[in-house]
Each structure stands twice: as structure tokens, then as C-alpha cells.
Amino acid sequence: MNSVEKPVTEARKEFADLVNRVAYTGERVALTRRGKVMAALVSAEDLELLESLRAGRVDLTQAGPAASQQPDRPQPDRPQHAPLRVAAEYRPGRPPGFGR
């Protein structure tokens, strides 16, 4: 999976395009300030994996797609979410921002 680093000031200008890149290609974007990674844009799939890791529901020592399914451990009730959609779009000729 590809990863790109972008300074926060640059990313602010290209936010809609970056969101679309992440959503449609799965590419990760590391947001930097003075060369240090401060945050990241990741796909909804990657976010779900990270949340599963934090909750301890994924055992990375097991191989294969069944690694996240652990029959000896009860799975907590998890609310069902609708899939995430693109939250922004690029409109040429308009300055970036929130309609200020």
C-alpha cells in the first residue's frame, strides 16, 4: 500500500482531493508539520482494523483472514455502521475552505 507525506499547510489546500485519494485508492496520507508526522488520513477499512487492534479483537499471530475471529473469546456487541462515503469534493474555481 502506498503512503504519501504532505505538510499540513499543503494538505489544507488539497483536502478534498486527498480524501478522495484515500477513499478510492486506499492510499495513506501522513500529515506533517516541520517534518514530523502529526496525523494521518487512512481508509475506512484501515480505520476499522486499527479500532479492532486497539480493542484487542485481532490476534496478529494467527495467519489468514480468520485471524480476527477468535472463537474462544466472546465478541462484544458492535453497532452496525453504514459504509463511509466521500465527505468532500473538488470544485474548480472556488477557493478552499468551508464557505466563509
pLDDT digit string, tens, across residues 9-21: 999 999 999 999 9
Task: Describe the strand order of the beta sheet including 36-41 as a list of residue ranges.
Answer: 3-7, 28-33, 36-41
Measure the CA–CA gap between 15 and 85, rounded to whole angstroms: 15
Which of 47-51, 61-65, 95-99 holds the top average pLDDT?
47-51
Residue type, 38: M
pLDDT digits (tens, 9 = 90+) for 15-60: 999 999 999 999 999 999 999 999 999 999 999 988 888 888 766 6
pLDDT digits (tens, 9 = 90+) for 73-85: 555 565 566 666 6
Measure the CA–CA gap between 45 and 25, rounded to whole angstroms: 11
Identify the pLDDT of residue 60: 63
CA torsion through residues 93, 97, 98, 100, sign: negative
